[in-house]
Amino acid sequence: MPIMGYPGENDTAAPARAHSGRGAAAWMLGMPIEEFSCVENGTEIAADLCIVGSGPAGLTIARELAGTGIDVLVVESGGLEPDPGIDALSRIVSVGAPRILEPTHVRNRIFGGSSHGWSGRCASFDDLDFAARPFVPLSGWPVAPAALAPYVARATRHLGLGPDRPEGRGLAAARLRPRPPLDPALLRHVAWQFSRDPVEPQAFMRFGRRFRACTAANIRILLHASVTHLTTGPCGAAAGTLIESLDVANLEGRRAVIRAPTVVLCAGGIENARLLLCSNRVCPAGVGNVHDLVGRTLMDHPRGSLLHFRLADAAAIRAIYGPYKLDSEQGRHVFADGVALSPAIRARRQLLNCAAWLHEVRAPDDPIDAARRLISRASEAPGRDAWAVASQPLRVLSGLHESLVRRRSVTHKLERSHFLCAVEQRPDPDSRIRLGARRDRLGLPVAEIDWRIGEQEIASLTMLARLIEAEFTRTGLPRPIVADWVDSGRYPAGALMDAAHPSGTTRMAADPRHGVVDENCQVHGVEGLFIAGSSVFPTAGHANPTLMIVALALRLADRLKARAAGQESGRRRSAEPAAGILVG
C-alpha cells in the first residue's frame, strides 16, 4: 500500500493546512511546501535528512522516503515558476570547448529541476559502459551492471516508461518494422524511449508537477532557499569527518542554518561539484576534496550533426528511424531507433561508445505548422503564415488526410533531415570545473568550466559516420552525406556542443584516490554526506543520463532507509535517550 503516490495510485488527500504569507497557496497542494521568505531570518531548521535540489534525483529519493518516519527536508533554490533572477545563479564561465551558456537552456532552477524543460529521451547503459577498458583510463564502475539492473527497471516506472528495450519482454506487439540488416560486427541498433506522464501522456514526465500531486506528512519542501555552504567537522582527520549543517540564503539576504546528520546533494552535475568546492570555511580545498578530485573528469555528451540526407530521401529514412509506438500493460510507449558502434569494433579500434539518431528540422514555411499557429492565434507573422498555407494547398490537404482519415502523424515540410550524434567521453582530469573569480548574487564564486573534447571522441564519431555511410550504401538505404568536419580529426567551433548532461565531477570509485564518492554514493571521508545525480558517473556511455540518475537515486534511497532502520534499532538497544534523531 503506497503511503505517497501519484493520483490513481493513492487517493488519500492530505488535509489542507493553515499557513499564512507567500507559502500559503503551496500548502494547499497537499505537500508541505514552504517559501523560505516565510521563515524567520537566522532560524535554525532541524531535519533528519536534507535533500539539496528537487530535480529527478532529489524528488525520486524524497518520494521513496515518504512515509518512513524519517523527517525529510527538500531544499530547492528555485520556486514553482521560472525566475530569471534565480536561473542566473547557474551561470558559468566557459574557458574550454564551447558550451551552451544560457542557463535556462541547460539547467532549470525550479521545483522539478531540469525535468521542467527536458526532452524525455531515455536509454539504458550497455554492459560495456560499466567495464574497466584498458584504452579508457579511469573506466570501470565499482557497481556491477547486474546489481543496477533492478533499479533501472524500477526507474522506468518513475519516468513513465515501459520496458526499457523495444525487443524486451513485456511489450504486447513485436516491432512493427524490420530493422535494416546492418553488419552487427560493425554497427548495432539502439533505441530510445520517451518518458511520458502517466496522467497527461502528451507530456514528458515533469518531476515537479508530478510530485506536487503527492501526499506525505514526513516530507517538507523549502522553496527559494539556495544552499551556500556545507559545514563538516574538522577535516583532514585520518578517521574522516561528518556533515553537520548547511547554510541557506535567498536573493533578499535572508539566511538560515539547517542542521541534519544526513545530507544528499542532488543539485545537478555542475552544482554538486561547485557546492563542495565553495564549502571551504573548514576544509580550505572544499568538502570531500582531499585528493583534489572534486570538479575534475567533467564529461558531457558532445553532440552535433554527423551526416544528413537529401530531402527526397527523408520519408524513407523516417520510415526506419522515425518514432514508433508499442503497447505494454502500462500503456502506450514511444520509441525511436538509432545506430551505434558495435562493442566489437569499439574494443578492436579502442573507441568510445557513440550513437546517432534521426533529427528533422521543419521548414519555416511548413504549412501545417503555419496553420496551427494561425488557428491557435500564436502566429507572430500572420501574413507570412497565411501565404504558407494558401500557397501549398496539396500539403495541407494531405496533412489533413493523414491526421483525420489515416490517423497517422502528419508529414511536415522539412528544411533538414539529419543524424545527430552523441559520444561518450574519456574521463580527463584536466576537463574540469573550478571556482572562478566572478561571484553570483549570493556571493558564491561562479563555476569556471574548462570542458575538453579529446581525440578519442572525434575518432569514435568519425568511425561511426563512415560505417553508417558504408553500411547504408551496402544495404540499399538512402546514402547519407557525411559532415565536412568528420575526416579532419578536429571539429570547427560549434560543430559539437554539450548536451546539458554534465557528468563525472564527483565520480564514484571504491578507492578514495580515484573518486569523490564510494560505491554507496557517500562522499569518501565525510560520514552522512551523499551525492545523487550524473556527477557520480565514473563514465557516461552514450545514453541520456536521467534513467541512470533515477536508478542510482532509488538505490541510494534504499540504502538510506536501511541505514535509518539500522540506527533506529541500535538506538532502541542503547540506554541513551534518542535525542529525536532518526538518521545520522
Ligand X SMILES: Cc1cc2nc3c(=O)[nH]c(=O)nc-3n(C[C@H](O)[C@H](O)[C@H](O)COP(=O)(O)OP(=O)(O)OC[C@H]3O[C@@H](n4cnc5c(N)ncnc54)[C@H](O)[C@@H]3O)c2cc1C
Q: CB-wise, 28 or 420, nearer to ligand X?
A: 420
160 part of the interface to ligand X, by CB under 6 A: no
Q: Which of 23, 30, 109, 129 binds ligand X (CB under 6 A)?
A: 109
Minimum gap (Å) between residue 557 Cβ and ligand X: 13
How many angstroms separate the Cα of 218 from the Cα of each of 25, 51, 214?
19, 13, 12
Is the distance from CB of 556 to CB of 522 less than 8 angstroms?
Answer: no
Minimum gap (Å) between residue 32 Cβ and ligand X: 17
Q: Which of 23, 79, 113, 538 binds ligand X (CB under 6 A)?
A: 113
Cell numbers standing for residue 326: 508499442
Q: How many residues bind ligand X (CB under 6 A)?
A: 40
For strand 44-46 and strand 255-259, is the pairing parallel, antiparallel, or unpaired?
parallel
Q: How many residues does the chain have?
A: 584
Q: Which of 23, 32, 47, 114 binds ligand X (CB under 6 A)?
A: 114
Cell numbers standing for residue 404: 483525420
Q: CB-wise, 226 or 460, nearer to ligand X?
A: 226
Minimum gap (Å) between residue 291 Cβ and ligand X: 23
Sketch the per residue contact string, 402 through 441, with ligand X: x for CB under 6 A, - otherwise: ----------------------------------------
193 part of the interface to ligand X, by CB under 6 A: no
Minimum gap (Å) between residue 474 Cβ and ligand X: 31
Return the closest-CA partner of residue 522 out of 505, 506, 543, 538: 506
C-alpha to C-alpha distance for 138 and 121, rounded to whole angstroms = 27
Q: Which of 197, 271, 337, 424 binds ligand X (CB under 6 A)?
A: 271
Return the amino acid letter for 79.
Answer: G
Q: CB-wise, 76 or 385, nearer to ligand X?
A: 76
C-alpha to C-alpha distance for 261 and 241, rounded to whole angstroms = 12
279 part of the interface to ligand X, by CB under 6 A: no
Query: Which residues touch 455 (CB under 8 Å, ≥6 apart)?
Result: 489
C-alpha to C-alpha distance for 571 and 584, rounded to whole angstroms = 11
Q: Which of 27, 36, 118, 451 binds ligand X (CB under 6 A)?
A: 118
Q: In the bound complex, which residue of the shown chain has the CB atom lying closest to ligand X?
A: 55
The DSSP 8-state label assigned to residue 126 in this structure reads: P
Minimum gap (Å) between residue 432 Cβ and ligand X: 19
Listed ranges 230-238, 253-261, 265-273, 391-399: which one lies at the site for ligand X (CB under 6 A): 265-273
Beta-bridge partner residues of 34: 222
Residues within window 1-60 making contact with ligand X, judged by CB under 6 A: 52-58
Return the amino acid letter for 51.
Answer: I
119 part of the interface to ligand X, by CB under 6 A: yes
267 part of the interface to ligand X, by CB under 6 A: yes
Sketch the per residue contact string, 66 through 85, with ligand X: x for CB under 6 A, - otherwise: ---------xxxx-------
Cell numbers standing for residue 319: 520510415
Beta-bridge partner residues of 230: 246
Query: Which residues touch 548 (CB under 8 Å, ≥6 apart)?
Result: 124, 125, 148, 152, 155, 534, 537
Cell numbers standing for residue 422: 552523441
Q: CB-wise, 23 or 56, nearer to ligand X?
A: 56
For residue 372, the SS3 value is: helix
545 part of the interface to ligand X, by CB under 6 A: yes
Q: How many CA atoms lie within 13 A of 376 on its CB side?
A: 9
Sketch the per residue contact string, 195 through 234, with ligand X: x for CB under 6 A, - otherwise: -------------------------------xx-------
Residues that bind ligand X (CB under 6 A): 52-58, 75-78, 105-107, 109-110, 113-115, 117-122, 226-227, 266-268, 271, 275, 500-501, 533-534, 544-546, 549
